[in-house]
Amino acid sequence: MQRLIALFSLFFFLSPGVVMAETTLADSVDALAPQIDARVLEWRRYFHEHPELSNREFNTAKVITKALEDMGMEVWKDVAHTGVVGILKGGKPGPIVAIRADIDALPVEEVNDLPFRSVARGEYRGADTGVMHACGHDTHIALGLGAAAIFAELREQVPGTIMFIFQPAEEGAPEGEEGGAFLMLKEGLFERMKPDAIYGLHVWSAGNAGEITYRSGPLMASADGFQIDIYGRQTHASRPWGGIDPIVTAAQVVMGLQTIASRQVNVTKAPSVVSVGRINGGIRGNIIPDHVEMLGTVRAFDPAMREDIKRRVEHTAKTIAESQGARAEIKWEFGYPVTINEPALTERSVKVLNKVVGAEHVSQSDLITGAEDFSFFQQQVPGFYFFLGATPVGQDASMAPSNHSPMFFVDESTLPVGLKALAGLVAERLENP
């Protein structure tokens, strides 16, 4: 009887009419991810305790490099100063997919009471400062390395190549230096190897742990800084008619700039922000100076509108100044472009997220007026960027200390969710090119 059962079983297995279920890469990723969680937690705590400022991430890069090399990857070092790129070539032919993780910290002194609290110091604009991963990039590094560890274990099952891009200086390069995604691309990263798609995420306190938010199309704004110098003619404040008052002129310019977003551009197409954050002029209350300096920012969600607003800012400042007999000069510091999630990639990515973490934990984000240099990568290849909640479940996320705060806190229960989401997106893209 046993021999008969064995023969029947063999026939059943070999019968051409019977199709055995094949384990997909996504299934393997989902099964392996929990085994990597402990390593992700360890990496996250190490990098949190040892943060480094933009373009100064020397130890961070060294640790990342060692981890990737231990996984058997080809590693490109010193990309855009301190960037690291790990290359995993799978056992099967297929597309090239990239994951990006930013690695720099901020000049912020941590006040959280954690066993791995940062006590690091650094130099920022010539001054000694505390250094903290106050924006969660320590978490991004850990999740990037966690995804690398998963796919390194599954290398022979991987159909294609994965680029693990650990990018420095997302928070902005020091004055007088270049850095970040822009410099990586300028140095030819995507000329050396260009992915078919790129993924990135950001932990943030405005969401609870384990919750994911996304948006198709424009997600985060472009960010451009401006400096407007108003030149008048100095006089005593008791006889203002004897000069040209740049302070009054600057006040009129501020009010004029507010009409750009509210009256001059199509608010039904996309929102925009024009803000003046600093005005500096004069030294005494009874002296009208000859010069006022104004600093501000422009945020937009449409590339064409971004250019249009720039033109309107210049026109408004110059014509108002001329009407008062003064002169205005404008300097621009063009920052990050609009972060735009490619619609088709977003659609398929959301299906993966719904499956991996549950549709009840995935929702659409509002537009975000913050900026992100992941957008430079998205200008070159289709990209999908999403947010991972960091505030403990049960707490009001709207009241949590924001990213960049010395009290910014990441609930580590969100790490397994982020790892499964990030690795799951890559697996789906590789298997369905």
The CATH number given to 222-334 is 3.30.70.360
Q: How many CB atoms lie within 10 A of CB 263?
A: 8
3 state DSSP class of 8: helix
Residue 50 in this model has a pLDDT that exceeds 70: yes
pLDDT, residue 1, reads 45
Spot the catalytic one: 57, 336, 372, 428. 336
- Is residue 412 pLDDT above 90, yes or no? yes
Confidence of residue 332 (pLDDT cuts 50, 70, 90): very high
User: What is the pLDDT at residue 7?
Assistant: 36
Task: Using a pLDDT cut of 70, give the percent of the chain over it.
Answer: 95
Give the SS3 label for residue 120: coil
The confidence score (pLDDT) of residue 22 equals 74
DSSP 363-426: EEPPPB-S--THHHHHTTS-EEEEEEEEEPTTS-GGGSPPTTSTT----GGGHHHHHHHHHHHH
CATH of domain 25-220+338-431: 3.40.630.10
Question: Catalytic: 412?
Answer: yes
User: Which of 3-7, 19-23, 185-189 is predicted most confidently?
Assistant: 185-189
CA angle 402, 408, 409 (to 5 degrees): 125
Which are the contacts of 205, defined by CB distance < 8 A and separation ≥ 6?
390, 391, 397, 400, 401, 402, 403, 405, 408, 409
**Extents of the domains making up the chain:** 25-220+338-431, 222-334
Q: Where are the alpha helices (DSSP H) in 119-240?
A: 137-153, 180-186, 189-192
- Of 49, 178, 342, 412, catalytic: 412
